[in-house]
Structure 1
């Protein structure tokens, strides 16, 4: 679409334009001529069948681009029909297609003083893109310079009113955005609640949660951008809406269905054929809370829920109870997240044009309804000099060029709806951000969860946003401020002053901090001065996006604001295959910390073997924090993530796409604390994810292991005496009861034989599959021995069942067992059968495993047990309690029979892994209930609120 008539008049009144100086390029030398190019073949196969799903040979990339980066760009961003001359085959073609469009639009719209300045601008952009200094967001690479609509924005916010016409229009607009490969967010709080009456008929309204069902079905049907990933969307509801409790519990209830269906043998994986039978799975949900609500939670006070139509109080609830329900639901299924309404709107630059009501799906873009934002992200590690100083001069120039390009794109961009196009052109929201912060901090020897790490992150973010607003003010002097600036001028300038004041409060620690912070102070001063003179070209300038796919394009070790996920990664090799390597930033960090070459090499070798630095030879414990990662042995605590977000939030126009990861043993109270501290520390939004929360585990009180006597009367910490125990193997008797079960899984037949102690407790298993002497038979024999030894050393059968049920690989499918109709794999079948044969009902119910009769009884009566079984269970429990009451012991009492040898002291590390999965979790740092990539089968990892595949760059929602 073309620029408005008003903008055309402004451009004609200000013909001077920008003078662009060379920073990165050399006069007379094309950026492409400064690097060595090579040809590669890109081949991707289906992980399951081995079938080639993508192949393009002889593609051209710089020799320093990794195989992974070139693969992702070739498969995701090259345009044209595969196998034809119109298909792009070189990075040069891709960059030229995009940059030439920006240069032409800049010239046509009066941005440059002359053609030579435009040419320099294009060369500088080209150089930075080739050298992976930054990247535009994915829609730019998809669409700019092609025959497709020139959509450049990745983030959208919609609106809906309390009418059927508006609700149906919401479905339509959201569908069009999904079709274009992007995501959208919306606040449903204007829709009247299910506790209010309809004006037309006097009947009861459906409520927003009911209408969410239709939108969710639409999102699940329209594959985003025509690809295999699901659409990305955010649904927000205000905390004072009468249907807020139903909204909070919606996804948690659906997760109960998922567990029940999966345990019955249905395919409930992301993208599975049966997942569509449950609802509300295509959106991230967030509750929009006010300061008044959070204060009521703190004080334990009541809180009013208001009708949407009249504003009257419909219901009064206990604020703390409602808040606890939010935390409990998030504990169970990671939803809802939380958004802090008053904080968001206190940093709003255009309040005269309306409040900020919602965000995009990943929560980093927060602006007016019916608006969009295009993004670009810098690779921070590129600005770290060899002498370990931060190149502020180049960083400032890079931000200037990128912000200019991003604003130019709005002049030619197309938008999915007229309302979004109008708002975006009137307010020109931009979202510059960065990636590789975690790698930068590690390279400098700074812990992610440390004062030094937070100060440097704050200073860099401040410098980025200050420079962006200063350039925005300069652009306003050339082509005019955004159309909605005049009524918002005072508010916008006040927000700039708030940013500047926050920068003044940063207390630097090291020389690199002081250097960056000083540069930021200069840029804020200039932004304030230029803004007062010219106004601002953009209503907002910066956000921190997840940078999933584009992070791989830039060969970043870490995405967005995230820390490193692991110290060990798998690197793709030319010609196929991969190798395990220790991140190169580890060696640089060790050098910065003062270690000699021999010690550094020993530490790297230790990490390669163990995946962490605990007890690494020669490494001092006070330096462990530098190598802390998101997952694994030394996982960064939840509040470490929150504190980092709080450090950079005052220097962002928008917010931060980041999920606070918690371990599976985290409690509901832990999540409530994250939500409360997020508010107190001034965040705009928080999302949480508890590892394995999708599996459905029993709630933890969070109080176990706390010692009220951990300090002496003087307040000093008491020395702790730690006793560790070594397990003792309890062998089976020579003669024992055995049971053999034949089974068939998808036509693959086998036999399982179990042996038990005299008490009936399982002590061994034997699995026979395939031909005697075959590889499969040998592997299963070895596996049987490993599990049997574990059982005899006291590992509970429940632990094996938890680990091996739902494990998915071929053969998988129908079985001949009436209790287990479908199995995800042979091991899935085996351990479900073991659970049914050897665990009591309560233990199985906790794991979601039931017999066919129990499931049938539940469908008919709502209970898994018959009345007789329930009565027998109650009687049995009563007898146990009576027997326990008869036992009175003074002191700690006699030791109960156990498989644990209390006299032996184990020398094993406290967090030593016990299973292959735990070993891999320590090595890779990945969340092991993340979905498999639907393209290449690699285990995905969290990226913002979605998942990203490190193998091929596919995402589960966010582009």
Structure 2
């Protein structure tokens, strides 16, 4: 958990209205209290996935109606704490969202104030060895997926392939059961508005680790799973020293055989190079920052890897749009601070308003009251500040902004604890006799796949994917993008013309377009322009001040090597990341995002674009 000095005086407040530039061609939605301009792509996503529809499939609410519905519903939780001014809270929450300063995770936008009322984004479920507990967990996962949330599992308790079972037969191992979970998810998502997704984790010391690592080497296998290997500090040390380590049968707790740590690590990196899976999670580091170690070890994360959770825990997430807080090349810390406090209040209320799929969920969630406040639009913020993503100044900006968010979120949680009480397991937490907090964790950085489209900003802490690209939605529509900030810069420099646009559409980057001034090319970098080292260093910079984890993908050029992946994974461990994943351009057939002129050849990030 990041160390917080809550006694320091806050940074000087810089007030000012945020002026947001939008393309003239974008569509306008009239708010009940103001005018909010949404991009055409945002309206497409809202209409497809979030806005209420009647029995004939016709949309029956506008975006501002959705925000009003959500604000009104989430504000009702204040009544539990004898706050009589619920209307004031409703307006506070409404303005928080209609301004696009903050957006909660997708299930909250979709379900708040409606019949379902399941608001959390991510859940972790335990899997115990045996047919009955395995299929009990599968049933629970189906109930969760039906609500649009994701689930995480660690399959390491299941006995390995070929091990004996009571019927005198032999078990098929954890990978075979993962395929059953995947098939069930596929059937449920066919009828859903939001698609359920899974994280499958196996500990590196499980006898079936080789099969697990290579399970997604072929296309269209476990398409509803991200997979990650849980590795320990001891394993990393064995890799460095070229030693063997023990593979242990989880049923008997006996050593099955010894394996070369370096060979397994190489296999992980080869498969990640091949198509992006598996990622790795550093399970020792995750538990080092477990706020409630007396309640048990953390063994799994949510479907995108950013939220480590105990069995049956759930977490609701929300993200602050950092691009909205730049004014005259400075960050408006005054307004940002107020937004953080409102967002923490909002997310704490979500815990009380959520109708959890399982009784175990509510019981476990309310013990710890974890929330995950994160960010989106970070790359846009840097552009507006005139800072390179891949620079020491960029890293400094990341640390500074996240340190401020972490500190203010903790202050807000302390204020709520004074009014509402600390989380019930506070006495059994690392904060006992130190900080009286309402929430065991406050910060998480999610990928913000679709809510960043609504806000029309870059996702999470990722660099820009490209300056011009197309994106397929799950519903089959194609959304086209041309970076709004770049368009503004080109117009100001009087070089916005058909020839330049054609070159940008073709390349997705302006790195080698000499007609564009160097100062612009320097600032408007995209993922493929950035060396892998900067991706990892940026993730590590944020992780210093994030309670939970971070969902980020290191994008690699098509000609990257397996050795490059090895260096990235080792660097992530050395710099203090809690997990890491990579994606090499062109390594998957299915395409979600691609350069407009290279639809048939270039890029897919299907495994990393999530509904958060």
TM > 0.5: yes
Conservation of the 8 A alpha-carbon contact between 2:31 and 2:64 = no
Identify unmatched segments of 5+ residues in structure 2: 1-13, 18-25, 472-476, 505-509
Q: Which residue of 2 aligns with 1:640?
A: 534
From 217, 226, 231, the counterpart of 2:196: 231
Structure 1 residues 677 and 224: CA distance shift in structure 2, 3 A: farther
1:764-786, CA deviations, whole angstroms, 9 ceiling, x for partnerless residues? xxxxxxxxxxxxxxxxxxxxxxx
Q: Which residue of 2 aligns with 1:65?
A: 38
Q: Distance in 2 between matches of 1:537 and 1:306?
A: 40
Give TM-score scaled by structure 1 length: 0.56
SS across alignment from 1:532: coil
1:365-413, CA deviations, whole angstroms, 9 ceiling, x for partnerless residues? 112111111111111111111x111011111110101111111121121
- 1:89 matched to 2:61? The reply is yes
Displacement, 1:360? Answer: 0.8
Q: Distance in 2 between matches of 1:358 and 1:313?
A: 23
Q: Which residue of 1 aligns with 2:459?
A: 559
Conservation of the 8 A alpha-carbon contact between 1:232 and 1:283 = yes
- 1:109 matched to 2:81? The reply is yes
- 1:674 matched to 2:576? The reply is no
Structure 1 residues 446 and 693: CA distance shift in structure 2, 3 A: same
Conservation of the 8 A alpha-carbon contact between 1:449 and 1:625 = no
Give TM-score scaled by structure 2 length: 0.87
SS across alignment from 1:160: coil
- 1:920 matched to 2:597? The reply is yes
SS across alignment from 2:157: coil
Conservation of the 8 A alpha-carbon contact between 2:302 and 2:309 = no
Displacement, 1:637? Answer: 2.0
From 440, 443, 455, the counterpart of 2:384: 443
1:780-815, CA deviations, whole angstroms, 9 ceiling, x for partnerless residues? xxxxxxxxxxxxxxxxxxxxxxxxxx99xxxxxxxx
- 1:152 matched to 2:119? The reply is yes
From 506, 526, 532, the counterpart of 1:629: 526
SS across alignment from 2:450: helix
Q: Distance in 2 between matches of 1:552 and 1:919?
A: 17
- In the TM superposition, structure 1's runs of 4+ consecutive aligned residues that sit over 6 Å from their partners are 23-26, 57-61, 576-580, 603-606
Root-mean-square deviation (Å): 3.2
Q: Distance in 1 between matches of 2:520 and 2:576?
A: 30
Q: Which residue of 2 aligns with 1:652?
A: 546
1:822-850, CA deviations, whole angstroms, 9 ceiling, x for partnerless residues? xxxxxxxxxxxxxxxxxxxxxxxxxxxxx
- 1:215 matched to 2:184? The reply is no
Structure 1 residues 317 and 570: CA distance shift in structure 2, 3 A: closer
From 143, 147, 156, the counterpart of 1:176: 143
Displacement, 1:651? Answer: 0.9
Mapping 1:945-956, distance limit 5 Å: 945-947=607-609
SS across alignment from 2:339: helix
Displacement, 1:605? Answer: 7.8
From 159, 164, 188, the counterpart of 1:192: 159
Q: Which residue of 2 aligns with 1:532?
A: 434
Mapping 1:36-55, distance limit 5 Å: none
Displacement, 1:652? Answer: 0.8
1:880-916, CA deviations, whole angstroms, 9 ceiling, x for partnerless residues? xxxxxxxxxxxxxxxxxxxxxxxxxxxxxxxxxxxxx
SS across alignment from 1:339: strand
Q: Which residue of 1 aligns with 2:301?
A: 359
1:476-521, CA deviations, whole angstroms, 9 ceiling, x for partnerless residues? 1111111111111xx236xxxxxxxxxxxxxxxxxxxxxxxxxxxx
1:621-657, CA deviations, whole angstroms, 9 ceiling, x for partnerless residues? x7744222013xxx21222211110110111111111
1:6-59, CA deviations, whole angstroms, 9 ceiling, x for partnerless residues? xxxxxxxxxxxxxxxxx9999xxxxxxxxxxxxx999xxxxxxxxxxxxxx999
Displacement, 1:569? Answer: 5.8
Conservation of the 8 A alpha-carbon contact between 1:372 and 1:424 = yes
The structure with the larger Rg is 1
Displacement, 1:203? Answer: 4.5
Q: Which residue of 2 aligns with 1:407?
A: 348
From 604, 619, 622, the counterpart of 2:517: 619
Displacement, 1:614? Answer: 2.4
1:260-300, CA deviations, whole angstroms, 9 ceiling, x for partnerless residues? xxxxxxxxxxxxxxx5xxx4232111100000000100111
SS across alignment from 1:601: coil
Q: Distance in 1 between matches of 2:531 and 2:198?
A: 28
Identify unmatched segments of 5+ residues in structure 1: 1-22, 27-39, 43-56, 259-274, 494-530, 591-596, 696-805, 808-916, 931-941, 948-956
Displacement, 1:570? Answer: 7.6
Q: Which residue of 2 aligns with 1:139?
A: 107
